């Protein structure tokens, strides 16, 4: 896809791009049908970072989206399968009738979808009052494996760092850590740090930029970021910095890719090392992957897609682009949306507790 790189960050085009994605995606996204909640999170958070969420979406629309998200919640009324509570990635499993739970055997939540749902709800201005906290927390307990890692749902053997992060972010947003054995989770993260200082998705695998932020954000959320026994911080910082060419690449000797400006950039930010990133080079790379129709591609000649568009945007936010909201890197939520969420919660608490 050809479009001459510009020196400008195209705010208005990006707003239009996320609006389009939110209203209809082309059939090439069919392979992501099970992860629509995550695609939605990219759109909501994208519009939020751009400061336009409440101007381009009416209050009714935002309420409508909130209701759609809650419609994907897998509650105890739907199924008794242990570990299956939380949010499903979309309505693809069919109606969640509660008359006959046996019919919902394959209706299971997924940790990535639950994380995406909670983030989207926070960003959309919900207070999580309709979230079945207890069931989600109980599910987490079921999904944590003996090695400390997490699988995304009860029928999966895919145990890796991405889901440790989802679990930690969920616990943080729900203010309830009773579903996570922190010591074991920290042990799993430690085992994922490879000989070169980077983190692998699972112990033994090659270091992968995609999980740098998962590892260090989880540690931060669990209060172990300053724990020298949890990981080798300077090795992790050095590994992250070595993956910058112009932008960042996800593995040693691979090509730069827009999304790693988030995965690795946010990881460095969590570790307090973002000032060591060469921002000029990164900016030039991202301006080259920015598309004139809005959004970002993976590489300079690629079409934009929802994930890379959102990740490109977060990088500009972390670089301090004027007009973009500040991002909390360990949660992947804007500071503004997060503080508003906490304020809504405490005022709800005041209303409900007699003084």
Partner 1 sequence: MVKLEDSYVPLSQLPEWSDVTPIPQDDGPHPVAPIAYTQEYAEAMDYLRAVMKARELSSRALELTEEIVWLNAGHYTAWAYRLDILKHLNVDLYSELDFLSEFAEVNPKTYQLWHHRQEIVKLLNDPSREHDFIAKLLATDSKNFHAWSYRQWVVTQFNQWDGELPYVAQLIDEDVRNNSAWNQRYFVLTRGSTQDLDRDTLRREIDYCLEKMALAPNNECPFAYCRGLLKKFGTHDDWLLIRAQLRALGGVANAGDVAAARSQYAWGLLLDTEEHLIREATEEEGLTARRAEVRRVRTNFRV
Residue 355 as a binder of partner 1 (CB under 8 A): the answer is no
Footprint (CB under 8 A) of partner 1, residues 275-304: 276
Q: Are 305 and 258 in contact (CB under 8 A)?
A: no
SS3 (DSSP) at 300: coil
257 binds, among partner 1, Zn ion, none (CB under 5 to 8 A by kind): Zn ion
DSSP-derived letter for residue 325 is P
299 to 338: interface string for partner 1, x by CB under 8 A: -------x--------------------------------
Residue 305 as a binder of Zn ion (CB under 5 A): the answer is no
Q: Beta strands of 252-342 (E only): which ranges?
A: 327-328, 333-334
Residue 155 as a binder of partner 1 (CB under 8 A): the answer is yes
- In whole angstroms, give the CA distance from residue 243 to residue 241: 5
- In whole angstroms, give the CA distance from residue 331 to residue 156: 25
SS3 (DSSP) at 222: helix
Residue 133 as a binder of partner 1 (CB under 8 A): the answer is no
Question: Measured between alpha carbons, how far is residue 242 from residues 11, 79, 237, 239, 268 in Å?
Answer: 30, 47, 9, 5, 12
Q: Are 278 and 256 in contact (CB under 8 A)?
A: no
Crossing angle (nearest 10°) for helices 212-222 and 161-174: 40
Residue closer to partner 1, measured from CB, 94 or 323: 94
Instruction: Report which of 179, 42, 176, 219 is spatially closest to residue 116, judged by C-alpha positions.
Output: 42
Residue 257 as a binder of Zn ion (CB under 5 A): the answer is yes
Least spacing, CB of residue 210 vs Zn ion, in Å: 8
Residue 229 as a binder of partner 1 (CB under 8 A): the answer is no
Residue closer to partner 1, measured from CB, 202 or 315: 202
Residue closer to Zn ion, measured from CB, 259 or 315: 259
Residue 130 as a binder of partner 1 (CB under 8 A): the answer is no
DSSP-derived letter for residue 16 is H
Instruction: Report which of 267, 252, 147 is spatially closest to residue 207, judged by C-alpha positions.
Output: 252
Residue closer to Zn ion, measured from CB, 208 or 298: 298
Residue 315 as a binder of Zn ion (CB under 5 A): the answer is no
Residue 194 as a binder of partner 1 (CB under 8 A): the answer is yes
Footprint (CB under 8 A) of partner 1, residues 52-111: 61, 64-65, 67-69, 71, 91-95, 102-108, 110
Burial class from Cβ neighbours inside 10 Å (0-12, 13-18, 19+) for residue 223 reads exposed
28 to 47: interface string for Zn ion, x by CB under 5 A: --------------------
What sign does the dihedral 275-246-52-305 (CA atoms) show? negative
Q: Are 243 and 249 in contact (CB under 8 A)?
A: yes
Q: Which of 139, 207, 218, 317 binds partner 1 (CB under 8 A)?
A: 207
Residue 256 as a binder of Zn ion (CB under 5 A): the answer is no
Residue closer to partner 1, measured from CB, 58 or 347: 58
Name the H helices within 50-130.
53-56, 59-71, 111-124
Residue closer to partner 1, measured from CB, 23 or 352: 23
104 binds, among partner 1, Zn ion, none (CB under 5 to 8 A by kind): partner 1
Residue 266 as a binder of Zn ion (CB under 5 A): the answer is no
Q: Which residues bind Zn ion (CB under 5 A)?
A: 257, 259, 298
Q: Which residues bind partner 1 (CB under 8 A)?
A: 21-27, 29-37, 39-40, 43, 61, 64-65, 67-69, 71, 91-95, 102-108, 110, 120, 152-153, 155-158, 191, 194-197, 201-208, 238-239, 241-242, 251-254, 276, 306
């Amino acid at each position: 896809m050809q479009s001459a790189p510009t020196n400008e960050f195209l705010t208005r085009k990006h707003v239009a791009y996320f609006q389009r994605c939110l209203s209809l995606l082309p059939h090439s996204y069919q392979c992501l049908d099970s992860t629509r909640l995550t695609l939605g999170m990219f759109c909501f958070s994208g519009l939020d970072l751009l400061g336009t969420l409440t101007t381009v979406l009416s209050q009714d629309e935002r309420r409508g989206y909130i209701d759609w998200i809650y419609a994907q919640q897998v509650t105890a009324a739907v199924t008794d399968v242990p570990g299956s509570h939380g949010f499903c990635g979309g309505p693809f499993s069919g109606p969640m009738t509660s008359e006959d739970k046996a019919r919902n055997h394959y209706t299971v939540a997924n940790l990535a979808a639950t994380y995406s749902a909670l983030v989207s709800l926070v960003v959309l201005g919900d207070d999580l009052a309709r979230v079945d906290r207890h069931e989600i927390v109980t599910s987490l307990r079921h999904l944590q494996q003996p090695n400390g890692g997490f699988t995304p749902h009860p029928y999966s053997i895919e145990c890796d760092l991405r889901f440790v992060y989802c679990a930690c972010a969920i616990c943080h947003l729900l203010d309830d850590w009773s579903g996570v054995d922190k010591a074991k989770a920290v042990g799993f993260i430690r085992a994922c740090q490879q000989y070169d200082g980077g983190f692998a998705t699972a112990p033994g695998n090659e270091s992968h930029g995609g999980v740098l932020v998962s590892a260090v954000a989880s540690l931060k959320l669990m209060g172990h970021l300053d724990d020298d026994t949890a990981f080798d911080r300077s090795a992790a910082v050095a590994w992250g910095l070595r993956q910058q060419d112009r932008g960042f690449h996800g593995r040693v000797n691979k090509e730069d890719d827009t999304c790693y400006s988030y995965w690795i950039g946010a990881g460095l930010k969590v570790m307090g090392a973002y000032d060591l990133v060469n921002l000029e080079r990164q900016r030039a790379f991202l301006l080259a992957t920015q598309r004139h129709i809005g959004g970002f591609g993976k590489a300079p000649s690629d079409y934009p897609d929802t994930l890379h568009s959102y990740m490109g945007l977060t990088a500009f936010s972390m670089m301090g682009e004027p007009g973009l909201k500040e991002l909390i890197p360990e949660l992947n939520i804007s500071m503004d949306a997060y503080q508003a969420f906490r304020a809504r919660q405490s005022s709800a608490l005041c209303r409900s507790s007699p003084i």
